[in-house]
Structure 1
């Protein structure tokens, strides 16, 4: 077995040294040595007496000595990660050392968590990916960010680099246009859907804070991603977008330890956007724009001669920001009770000044065996999050503010605004003085009882709750542009949202093996879950002082209209799974779930979601018995149906909307219909088919997992036109369909074993998405720069194709233009798609790119040598595009705002270029192919170097293990994209409006050092 696992496991085992294993314990002792199959000794193996809490660990030479504190006969258990556990029965005590040989663990014996149970990898029939534990050790605010490049078929896109902000995750592509596309998260058995709207308190103007950030990544033991219908159908109406199962760390009998883990570092912005920072150059641009608009210059020659330097607004706003994490953990137990208790403090300041994210969290996991048949368990986590959020338009303001404007005036006060015709507020003053702070308390936990009626028959009942209390405070003072440029001045808002979910699950499982040939595992269950939320916002304006901020809304002389709301939903479900294995070769699985949801029409409350799968362990066939190269060969085939209930509440019901009316000089509130009822509103249904191959070679040193899949989502929920006689223009109905198809590949190799070890993990995936129908004869849906069009993938951009600029001497009057009367040399030319000699929206806009990558992947290499270890993680995508709306704004060249450095090469009579248009004071922004950029990238995601101090040094402070390490994240990115970050989409979880980069908080790179001590 590779030495990497040996040494890492040795270090882990040293963390859990126990007082029962001290050499000064009373004799007699049992001594021995533990070796692997090649005869090499194994340090760090755990040696325990079965049924007691007495244990010890082997030393660097693989030797152990353990007190025999139990009457003969008894059993010694010997185990370590990467090897099969060995049991030795002791019938008499001798002075001769025992020799224990451990066999390498088969990769097929590794256990993964699936829906309502666990399963060995060798028995899997569905497509399941396990996320390497290494990625969870990165300095991240939430675990979902760790999925980037770590699992095949999983695409992670950030909507903001704001600390604690949400990400968007797609497993095997997006299925829905208007419904939810995020996966279901199951945290220690509790299902959670990460809807960003539920994490907001209703006071907008900033990125959403990620509800998943309440869970401390350091508490996570494993992440398993369920991808195909065979794996997800047991989650029924919530399985269409995939399922991510999170298991937190549990205590183990006889392994008591106390661990302190911490890191501290700094962050820097990934890059800056190239804009003009020289005041004189920008002044010349402004004069040029005015001249081309028929106006006199703004700056005289004398003023131009006096202009020197210039303000770099990005330099003024960005900072080197600290990041830190501190974790205390207590784990252990005895033969009847296991516990794991942890406390965590995490703080991340943003690379934009005056933004931050701070989390306090605690977790308790407790399991107790009251008897051989009855046990109970508790999983509880509580957290408090506080975050200061940047104004949603702050990045646009930084890029737009001209370099001729100073941050502060001659008196040292913040400059109020730019002095030009289109005024811009001082973004540095906004960052410092505007308050937008969110505070979130969350409690998530469940308790269960499990009883074994007879051998193999186990009943389990669990109750859980998820409670989120969110409050958002915002204050815009009267002395900054946003607060003063209104009447009245000064604005304060307070919003609250309280959400609660309760869950009850009741399952009965039965496992039986007959004649060592027929193995059955059956699970049936009934679950019920309910959710409710209440929210309220209030505001006030025109304060006589800014001192009270949002703390006294009553001191404002003008009140804004308050808002409040509530909603609820409920879900009742029946589920079942049958696994049958014949001769350990042929595995059959049938899963199903029936869900009744309050979200749908009265005639479509219930949905049924079956799946079936087959796996063939070919390597166990006799015709491969002589194939020494092959360690495992399995073929998998599955098909099934899953659903999507993430559509919001009450959408099947007729609803009213309040309106304000004026009669006789008086104001009245009335109601009018705003939705018609649809009793047939039903599920978005996804049918999926998957074929996979698992192959292991050279005694599991090389492992391949390959999947090919096809899935089709039908009955899409879309707003379709209805007759005006209904009183409405559209109604939500089940129309349309979308398909996704693709392949996934995972390769894990043990390249070297021994004193020097080297492992590689590689994931690769590609997905092809296409809109099949939009129902009722509709061919497309246009939304901004995006279009959903039949025959095309979601995330497609729509606009004009550009083919250069008009030049002096062109016959503009006879060439296709948007407006022949105003078009001049230096203006942009567009392709006349239909050839009618003019440019029109209806006929000449076309498809100009797509946000979805052609393929994506990640590769991790881990090395160890003696006490050193090293990990390298690269991640990337190819073929995806971004619509760079920042670039669109910066290339308007109006002279009203700053411009891209591309303005240096703008068209002038003396520089008749063919790329950057002429300066002009009042152009209209046009969505063109000029602003669709290649966003392919390769990113050095993580570099970590660690050193494990010798035990002789650690023991001086009575520690079992000490590790120090340095780490860097996002070290560099290779890309042709000109924006801040190619891994971005400003519209958060939207599938229709994906791939837009505009005023997005930029990402960061970090450098840190860490320490891990275990007693």
Structure 2
């Protein structure tokens, strides 16, 4: 008997072992019968999962007990569940339906919604935009979202960009959007993260966030979407959600790319020493002086120095990322580490980032969940001197880079000396380093079905250090000999945030859906900064590391600022039968930045959406998949004005009394207890339309914004002791239209998708308050009835010619005007040219329209994408060109000098050479900056499964990519997409001594296990 029992047990063991090795095989297809690679098949209720291969096939170990359920998910398709009641003898065939556009979930303020339930204007940035080799994610917004204008203020690696959502609202206040990173609001003010020592473009504080960590970016544009952010919503809101782990999808991924960059374009200047010598002589002769060079000296001059050629280089760029994501039914995690290094196309400039991120979510129980999102980073950059590009353009080609002894030439030998820009690039230290820690943790508890409370605490800590040293052997560091200049600055800024929200969701009678969110938040910021410096060093060896070794100390400075914000918020969403959707939201903000009588602001909004396609009269119209009408109105605010501007303040001053030096204080601002918010009222109407089973999707919006109570420095009586005071005066309007089109042109083995965005914005200054009609700032003017970004100067109508009766024609200075000098238009017809009466608006920096188009194609294992971006109708004031056409013979000149006016070449475009002309702002230097750019071109190949399986990899992709490959433009400068004054709205559109943009070519690898 025992023998039979042993045999039975042995057979049972064999059967059990064999049963444990059994697998369920299957294939995942779409409705057209095409296989779907990359789908995730999860054994529901466990951590077991599999991914479909290139042929849509999968295999997963079968559990011991029946029945069990497979969950199948992939982006773009509806989630599908399949119940298995017995072990199938044939592969299971699973068919997925294409996801309804209305069911896609997007992130909104303090929550998320299905697209079908949205009443506000929200744009999603395509994932493809984030896969470009960029130092910061905000650059990915260029041409990727309708109504968003991104201006690259510098080509310096890591430099900031300027972003305008539906135009600029403020003249002197902040115009950048609010960024919300995993629920933590951040305003990208470079002043908050810079110690103010480095003499060059600001390094972007947002560059501390690794773009590869980002899962999605949503841009909130209308008041219905942004009013819940109240005093910080007037300029739009950009929501960033980083990648999270998913249950049953444990993945290890390594991504890397490496490439080279080169200057996008060079400015045409004289590189021939002989040609420049002739210009030098011409300028002197026209100024009544003897020639500088003899004919014999000119013959002996060499080819000349190409300063741009010596400064620009082929520069490498690289990125490496390791990421681990996954989890089980209770815990999800995403961990990543990143290294990014971008050498600059100008010698001795660079940007480097080390970053790490941990996102962790844990279900403590069925009703209690906690999580944390944190990132730590170190970014550092060697920054080009602010005047370096001007030096490269201005240095004459007759000057050598090095002297006969091999040392850097100190300066040009002419009346107006210029320092050697190559020596400055190589030897000046201009270093900025920033450490950033951003963390947000939360707890979420479900009190009862539909009622959820959430409490979060977060902090953002920025520690910035800036070092600058100008050695004694370059022009900028030599006040005396031996000498050198050093300065060290540091800034520590910290923000803490607490948010407390309560949300309730309930469906009544399967028809009425109610969602309510209420909350209280508090946030505070504090920064401390200090700058010290000295000069006249005995040696350059210690650089900025020993300020005490300098014999002349610079006056140190330090400071501290703080602000706080308390807020109450709420939003109600109510829908009837998924046809009629109502949204009401509001926020009350109390800010320390404003006057004691105006601390609190209130920002309500209301919106309505009508899903027309759900009405019975469209139920049989198969061509229309979705048709929705949206209407919204609301109020938002702007608090970005700096700190303490409503208070009377004192400023320290040095004075002498009785032969002694004393430090005292004097008033520098009077109090304004009524100082309040800039207020923006916005109205929006939109239509969402999907056709042919969501293959063609349109989103159209028209909007009107009016910003009142502008924060302006208004003249006040001198009897107050001050000349101006910050007050609420004036108004600006923006109105425009936006169009987004997304199409699925082909699907199946060959697929082709297109995404197109287009926008028009018209901006106008309505009033400037107290009878003021304009504000002039350099080459820009803000004038009532005209758009911001306008250029102000003289219109030119050619040159004076020999034989003209100059004495009877309108000129700026009749006594010195000669043939070959520039003529200007007499606007008021009084026979003379004067600043007060004959300067006028000569152009505008704002485009008439802008857009972008992305095409993504794939066939079998290959994919191709190309992205075009462009603007039309915008102008740039080319100040580089203005300086290069002075033709003084003191500095280099544009190649336009070949066509300069002479008695034998009486042209009508380029003025005569002259040693001491005035730089006049004229229409000649306002250029058409319209452009169309092939922003990105990428081709990739996914290795076959038979290859990847040999190393147990789930996917291996290799790709080649090019950025800024070609630009079609008539602009003669380095790049039509620049702005010297960074984020300024009043002084936008000036191109002068800006670090040029680059184009890049790279190869990349992505491997997942």
TM-score bin, normalised by smaller chain: over 0.9
Superposed, which structure 2 residues align to 1:584-733 within 5 Å? 584-733=578-727
| Farther-moved stretch of structure 1 (745-754 vs 485-494) | 485-494
Q: Render the CA deviation track for 1:822-844: whole Å, top value 9, x for unaligned.
A: 10110000001111111000000
- For residues 166 and 811 of structure 1, do their structure 2 counterparts lie closer, same or farther at Cα, with a shift above 3 Å needed? same
CA contact (8 A) 2:198 2:467 kept: no
- 1:231-270 pair list within 5 angstroms: 231-270=225-264
Aligned to 1:7: none
Q: Which residue of 2 aligns with 1:124?
A: 118
The superposition leaves residues 197-216 of structure 1 with CA deviations (integer Å, 9 ceiling, x where unpaired) of: 12211214111000000000
* Corresponding residue of 1:16: none
CA deviations 1:299-348 (Å, max 9, x no partner) are 01110111130101000000000000000000000010000000000000
- 1:49: how far off? 1.7
Q: For 1:945 and 1:224, locate their aligned partners in 2 and report how far apart those are by CA, in whole Å.
A: 26
| Counterpart selection for 2:776 from 782, 804, 813 | 782
Residue of structure 2 equivalent to 1:340? 334
Distance 2:332 2:466 in 1: 39
- Does 1:136 find its partner at 2:135? no
Aligned mates of 2:379, 2:588 — CA distance in 1 = 37
Checking the alignment, whether the CA contact within 8 Å between 1:873 and 1:941 is kept in structure 2 is yes
The structure-2 alpha-carbon separation of the partners of 1:40 and 1:159, relative to structure 1 and needing over 3 Å to count, comes to closer
Give the gaps of 5 or more residues in structure 2: 1-16
Q: In the TM superposition, what is the alpha-carbon distance from 1:178 to its structure 2 partner?
A: 0.5
**Residue 33 of structure 1: how far off its partner (Å):** 3.3
Query: 1:643, CA displacement in angstroms?
Result: 0.2
In the alignment, does 2:397 pair up with 1:403?
yes
For 1:37-116, list aligned pairs within 5 A.
Answer: 37-69=31-63, 71-95=65-89, 97-116=91-110
Q: Find the partner of 2:287 among 263, 288, 293.
A: 293
- Deviation for aligned residue 1:56: 1.6
Residues 344-388 of structure 1 deviation map (CA, whole Å, 9 limit, x = unaligned): 000000000000000000000000001110010010100001100
Query: Within 5 Å, which residues of 2 pair with 1:498-897?
Result: 498-897=492-891
- C-alpha separation in 1, matches of 2:480 and 2:819: 40
Cα 1:638–1:401, aligned 2, differ >3 Å: closer, same or farther? same
Contact 1:488 1:558 (8 Å CA) reproduced = no
Give the equivalent residue in structure 2 for 1:18.
none
Please name the residue that 2:153 is paired with.
159
2:241 match: secondary structure: strand
SS of residue in 2 equivalent to 1:646: coil
> 2:460 aligns to what?
466
Equivalent position to 1:380, from 371, 374, 378: 374
1:305 — aligned with what? 299
- Secondary structure at 2:154's aligned position in 1? coil
What secondary structure is seen at the aligned counterpart in 2 of 1:557? Answer: strand
**Quick one: distance in 1 between partners of 2:162 and 2:684?**
24
Q: Is the 8 A contact 2:480 2:536 kept in 1?
A: no
Q: Secondary structure at the match of 1:561?
A: coil
Shift of 1:155: 0.3
Task: Say if 2:20 and 2:62, in contact at 8 Å, map to a contact too.
Answer: no
- String of CA shifts for 1:698-722, please: whole Å, max 9, x gaps: 0000000000000000000001111
Matched residue SS, 1:967: strand
Matched with 1:484 is 478
Quote the Cα distance in structure 2 between the aligned partners of 1:60 and 1:342: 26
CA distance in 2, matches of 1:183, 1:760: 27
Partner of 1:363: 357
Counterpart residue number, 1:193: 187
Query: Does structure 1 residue 316 correspond to structure 2 residue 310?
Result: yes
Task: Tell me the distance in 2 between the aligned counterparts of 1:594 and 1:983.
Answer: 38
CA distance in structure 2 between the partners assigned to 1:559 and 1:435 by the alignment: 19
Query: Secondary structure, in 3 states, of the residue corresponding to 1:669?
Result: strand
Q: Which residue of 1 aligns with 2:925?
A: 931
Q: How many residues align?
A: 993
Match of 1:993 in 2: 987
Q: Deviations over 1:598-622 (max 9, x none)?
A: 0000000000000000000000000
- Residue deviations 1:119-142, cap 9 Å, x none? 111110000000000010000000
Are 1:781 and 1:788, in contact at CA under 8 Å, matched by a contact in 2? Answer: yes
> Does the alignment pair 1:438 with 2:432?
yes
CA distance in 2: counterparts of 1:875 and 1:60, whole angstroms: 33
For residue 146 of structure 1, give the secondary structure of its aligned residue in structure 2.
Answer: helix
Asked if the contact 1:522–1:578 (Cα under 8 Å) also holds between the matched residues in 2, the reply is yes
Q: How far off is 1:87 after superposition?
A: 1.6
Residue 488 of structure 1, CA deviation: 7.6
The 3-state SS of whatever aligns with 2:138 is helix
Structure 2: distance between partners of 1:106 and 1:229: 26
Which deviates further from its counterpart, 88-97 or 140-149? 88-97
Alpha-carbon offset, residue 93 of structure 1:
4.5
Of residues 800-809 and 52-61 in structure 1, the stretch that sits farther from structure 2 once superposed is 52-61
2:330 pairs with 1:352: no
Q: Matched residue of 1:428: which SS?
A: helix
Relative to structure 1, is the Cα distance of residues 61 and 669 closer, same or farther in structure 2, using a 3 angstrom cutoff?
A: closer
Matches within 5 A, 1:21-40: 26-40=20-34
CA contact under 8 A between 2:19 and 2:64: conserved in structure 1? Answer: no
Deviation at 1:1010, TM superposition (A): 0.3
* Contact 1:266–1:322 (Cα < 8 Å) also in 2: yes
Deviations 1:568-626 (A, max 9, x none): 00000000000001001000000100000000000000000000000000000000011
Deviations 1:487-510 (A, max 9, x none): 883100000000000000000000
Shift of 1:537: 0.2
Residue 960 and residue 929 in structure 1: after superposition, are their counterparts in 2 closer, same or farther (change >3 A)?
Answer: same
Cα separation, 2, equivalents of 1:746 and 1:961: 32
Using the alignment, how far apart are the partners of 2:730 and 2:895 within structure 1?
Answer: 45
Using the alignment, how far apart are the partners of 2:539 and 2:702 within structure 1? 64
The C-alpha deviation readout for 1:946-968, integer Å capped at 9, x for no partner, is 01010111122221111000000
Matched-pair contact (CA < 8 Å) for 2:54–2:944 = no
Q: CA RMSD in A?
A: 1.2
Counterpart Cα distance in 2 of 1:59 and 1:861: 25
Measure the CA separation in 1 of the matches of 2:133 and 2:871: 22
Cα distance in 2 for partners of 1:768, 1:475 equals 45
**Cα-to-partner distance string for 1:140-198 (whole Å, 9 max, x where unaligned):** 00000010000000000011100000000000000000000000000000000000112
| TM-score (normalised: structure 2) | 0.97
8 A Cα contact 1:760 1:860, kept in partner: yes
Counterpart Cα distance in 2 of 1:68 and 1:886 = 71
Matched-pair contact (CA < 8 Å) for 1:488–1:541:
no
SS of residue in 1 equivalent to 2:140: helix
Q: Which residue of 1 aligns with 2:162?
A: 168
TM score, norm. by length of structure 1: 0.97
Separation in 1 of the partners of 2:38 and 2:701?
37
Q: Counterparts of 1:59 and 1:476 in 2: how far apart (Å)? A: 59
Map of 1:19 onto structure 2: none
Given the superposition, is the C-alpha separation of residues 99 and 603 from structure 1 closer, same or farther in structure 2, using an over 3 Å criterion? same
Contact preservation (8 Å) 1:199, 1:208: no
By how many angstroms is 1:96 displaced?
5.3
Stretches of structure 1 lacking an aligned partner (at least 5 in a row): 1-22
Over 4 Å off, 4+ runs: 91-94
1:24/1:295 CA distance change after superposition, 3 Å: farther
Equivalent residue for 1:15? Answer: none
**How far is the alpha carbon of 1:97 from its aligned partner?**
4.5
Asked if the contact 2:198–2:432 (Cα under 8 Å) also holds between the matched residues in 1, the reply is: no
Deviation at 1:31, TM superposition (A): 3.7
In 2, Cα distance between equivalents of 1:489 and 1:719:
41
Deviation at 1:920, TM superposition (A): 0.3
Of the three residues 940, 948, 959, the one matched with 1:946 is: 940
